[in-house]
Amino acid sequence: MTTRSLKSTRLVLALMASGLIGGASVTALQHLSAAHAANAPVAVASTVAATGSASVPMALPDFAQITAQQGPAVVNISVTGIVKTSDETPTARRGQQDDPFGNDPFFEFFRRFQQGPQGQQRGQGAPRETPVRGQGSGFIVSADGIILTNAHVVRDAKEVTVKLTDRREFIAKVLGADPKTDVAVLKIDAKNLPVVTLGKTSELRVGEWVLAIGSPFGFENTVTAGVVSAKGRSLPDDSAVPFIQTDVAVNPGNSGGPLFNTRGEVVGINSQIYSRTGGYQGVSFAIPIDLAAKIKDQIVAHGKVEHARLGVAVQEVNQVLADSFKLDKPEGALVSGVEKSGPAEKAGLQAGDVIRKVDGRAIISSGDLPAAIGLSAPGDKVRLEIWRQGSAQEIEARLGNANDKSTEVADNSAASQQGRLGLSLRPLQPDELRAVGVTSGLLIENTSGAAAKAGVEAGDVLLAVNGQAVKSIDQVRSAVAKSDKSVALLIQRGDEKIFVPVRIG
């Protein structure tokens, strides 16, 4: 080997060691799906492994082509409006300015940038009108000017201006907005507009490349890319939406913009981020386009949105509850309450049932249930696969309308003993039953051991054990005797009902 070739070899090894070329890059490219390779003309050169065999040539998505074809249908949205506020002390106002998002790490990543005179204090609490201005994104879904965006982008809007990529501007009319799903529909007076192609979120796979176009911080037509991190993600503040989680960089102003797959189809509307700083930190969420399209159709047709309602209160199934109900896995939505005369009660659902599927769609966590019901319309029939008393069953429910006045959660009859559980119980007297609002139950007078450790307190009312309503202490003893590792106690505390898992084995 010559000195020159030796130096070249050392240079290559140094570059590989520093991660600039070699294994890491090749591995990442090899994980790209074959579907992406078929749709993208930009090829990646094959490499030769240490064994001497060449790896399979792969291809990256052609983001430039997607942007050129679909970008003209993405719009910038400017909003002006008036919000009534109360005057505050200068100290309080400075504090808000220093930390405009407070300490809440989960917020809409597009917030109004309030602009206007600071003003001096005009009296504690005196109402005043504050002008607000904001920017967001949207995309055209029909050539006659129908535009999709986020509801929070146009909230409190007095005037909405839409700017196209060809720099034309239009005053838009808000046809309707649905805060529950954060979807809004705008209309501008124009024809022969470029439109996006809508895809199917159901066909999107975790790990796929996705691309976002929007106006972060007012920088119009900004393009960012990443991969799908998860699907069907339930968030604490918007459980009716099965969000798409990505690592695409989105920031204030991206709200309402489209999320594209590698075929150039819109699969979601960028809506939220998780952030402790107010800016992008690697986790962003998009509303599935399948859901957004249904909301859009209702708004265009009726000017309003109606959501379906099953009429149950649910909670998570952890391992202890799964053991108590003899489930093979800690999955599903555990029904802790049922609305009186609601759709669920009419269908025969009971407290203690575990909903595992809705129309064949698996319910892994309790947050998946409202998201699944949200894909249906009032009046639709849904097929529910449930787990009851140790066996699988199937029932059909006709969904109600969430806009109708909700009823109280139904009373659940029911009832354990001092031994393994650590409970001191007595039957409720008739006047106590009326006061608590149940037809039967056992008052927990004292707790110790396993029950106290699980969080059961004196004064709670025990309604059921492992989903079975009990009216006597003997029934509780019998239910506990049949349990090996744990029991699930349905407890009422005040107006709330919840299953409490108690380990006894």
Domain positions in the chain: 3-60, 61-117+125-305, 308-401, 423-503
Q: With b meaning 16 or more CB within 10 Å and e meaning fewer, what string describes 391-413?
A: eeeebebebbebeeeeeebbbbb
Give the side-chain half-sphere CA count within 13 A for 297.
7
Residues 6 or more apart whose CB falls under 8 angstroms from that of 325 comprise 317, 334, 352, 354, 387, 390, 466, 467, 488
- CA separation for the pair 496, 499 (Å, rounded): 10
Beta strand 265-274 pairing with 197-198: parallel
The pLDDT value given to residue 127:
62
Pick the CATH number of 308-401 from 2.30.42.10, 1.10.10.60, 3.40.50.300, 3.40.640.10: 2.30.42.10
- Among this protein's residues, is 31 annotated catalytic? no
Catalytic hit among 36, 78, 178, 182: 182
Look up residue 157 and give its two tokens: 């809007």
- Among this protein's residues, is 142 annotated catalytic? no
143 phi and psi angles, rounded to 5 deg: -65, -15
| 465 and 478 Cβ atoms separated by less than 8 Å | no
| 308 and 399 Cβ atoms separated by less than 8 Å | yes
DSSP summary character for residue 257: -
With CA atoms as reference, report the closest residue to 228 among 247, 212, 215, 252.
247
Do 308-401 and 423-503 show the same overall fold?
Answer: yes
- Among this protein's residues, is 182 annotated catalytic? yes
pTM of model > 0.85: no
Catalytic hit among 234, 239, 255, 324: 255
What number does CATH give the domain 423-503?
Answer: 2.30.42.10
- CA separation for the pair 223, 240 (Å, rounded): 28
Q: For residue 271, how far is the Cα from the chain centroid?
A: 10
CA-only gyration radius of the chain, Å: 28
The pLDDT value given to residue 372:
85
The pLDDT value given to residue 130:
73
| DSSP run (H or E) holding 315 | strand 312-316
* Class of the domain covering 61-117+125-305: mainly beta
The sign of the CA dihedral 435, 441, 447, 450 is negative
- CA separation for the pair 457, 454 (Å, rounded): 9
The pLDDT value given to residue 383:
96
Give the 3-state secondary structure of residue 333. strand
Counting as low any pLDDT under 50, the low residues of the chain are 1-54, 88-124, 406-418
Catalytic hit among 36, 78, 137, 152: 152
What burial class does residue 435 get, using C-beta atoms within 10 Å of its C-beta: 0-12 exposed, 13-18 middle, 19+ buried? exposed
